[in-house]
Amino acid sequence: MNGWVGNPLVITQAGRLSPTPCLESNHTVFLEQNHVHVWFTTFSQFSSSLDMFTRTLNPAESLKMSRFATEHLRVRFACAHGLLRLLLSRYADCLPGELVFSEGSHGKPVLVGAKGLSFSLSHSGEGVAIAVARDLDIGVDIEEIKPIEDRSSLVERFFSADETYSYKALPPSVQETAFFRLWTRKEAFVKGLGLGLSHPLDSFSVGVDVPVSLAGHDSSDWSLHHLEPGHGFAGALAVRSHQAALYGGFLQLTGLHARASDEQKKADK
């Protein structure tokens, strides 16, 4: 397989994303049919890459970035979307700034003219996750695990009866982690569907265990997968397939920079 120096590793049922360095070259990444690659990383790695990322954004993305109220949020947006462009350009074999996105009716971003490449983006706290597939609908979600004051009311408001029952039956010491597992699983599914929060969250049920169960309207074609990004995050991946093979890891930026400098050289001409 052309392109990998450090291959993305198989994601086992336990969902661990290996910290092994990956993407050490600037070759095009080959993605097989029915394979999903899931990358997780933290914004702190990007402090020196901000200008580079900002330069790859298109006018609409730059405008969206400028509308955030704080510098911190603007930087996060630029990093997440700059990294998304950089990573997807490795799969689409083009320069980051050449990628064209459009939006589904409920805001799901899709790549235009990229030969079936699909992706999903999630950011929370200092973490960012990007899933990439070919000819498969996918949704990824991560959440930073942290205390939430109104956790019980969120459970009552958004979880299905089955989920609420399972959650309440757990010892209080594990309820926080269970909440974020359930939440990311639910969000991954509605992001996979492309409907986001317009899809009623209590209209389907996800399990709290591993492997993850999924039941409810329009869910039979889908599988849900537990992700364990580490670094204090919960995560989940939804795939419209029961046969998908999952690969991924903790993204290191060394190799990605090579393509970014290509982009820079082109922009400087």
Ligand X SMILES: CC(C)(COP(=O)(O)OP(=O)(O)OC[C@H]1O[C@@H](n2cnc3c(N)ncnc32)[C@H](O)[C@@H]1OP(=O)(O)O)[C@@H](O)C(=O)NCCC(=O)NCCS
Residues 24-53 that bind ligand X (CB under 6 A): none
| Of positions 41, 56, 122, 166, contacts ligand X by CB under 6 A | 122
CB of 240 to ligand X, least distance (A): 13
| Of positions 78, 121, 214, 260, contacts ligand X by CB under 6 A | 121
Cβ proximity of 43 and 53 under 8 Å: no
- What is the phi/psi pair of residue 172, to 5°? -50, -30
d(CA 265, CA 252): 22
d(CA 69, CA 145): 24
CB of 50 to ligand X, least distance (A): 16
Does position 60 interact with ligand X (CB under 6 A)? The reply is no
Residues 62-101 that bind ligand X (CB under 6 A): 80
Token pair 């609409």 in the structure block, residue = 60
| Residue showing the smallest CB distance to ligand X in the complex | 196
Helix intervals (H) in 35-171: 50-56, 59-66, 71-92, 151-158, 161-169
Q: Which stretch binds ligand X (CB under 6 A): 5-13, 188-196, 252-260, 261-269?
A: 188-196
Helix axes 71-92, 254-268, angle to 10 degrees: 90
| Of positions 198, 203, 209, 218, contacts ligand X by CB under 6 A | 198
Give the residue with the Cβ less far from ligand X, 139 or 229.
139
Does position 248 interact with ligand X (CB under 6 A)? The reply is no
**What is the per-residue binding string for ligand X in 129-148, x denoting contact by CB under 6 A?**
----------x-x-------
Does position 107 interact with ligand X (CB under 6 A)? The reply is yes
| Of positions 82, 194, 229, 235, contacts ligand X by CB under 6 A | 194
Q: Quick count: other Cβ atoms within 10 Å of Cβ 107?
A: 12
Strand partners, 111: 101
User: CA angle, 104 as apex, 38 and 61 as ends, to 5°?
Assistant: 75
| Of positions 16, 85, 90, 108, contacts ligand X by CB under 6 A | 108
Which residues neighbour 232 within 8 Å (Cβ) at sequence distance 6 or greater?
A: 125, 144, 145, 146
Size of the site for ligand X (CB under 6 A): 18
Give the residue with the Cβ less far from ligand X, 8 or 82.
82
Rounded alpha-carbon distances, angstroms, from residue 253 to 1, 60, 173, 220, 259: 21, 25, 36, 37, 11
| Of positions 5, 60, 63, 197, contacts ligand X by CB under 6 A | 197
Give the residue with the Cβ less far from ligand X, 198 or 203.
198
Cβ proximity of 182 and 213 under 8 Å: no
Give the residue with the Cβ less far from ligand X, 195 or 227.
195
Residues that bind ligand X (CB under 6 A): 80, 106-109, 121-123, 139, 141, 187, 190-191, 194-198
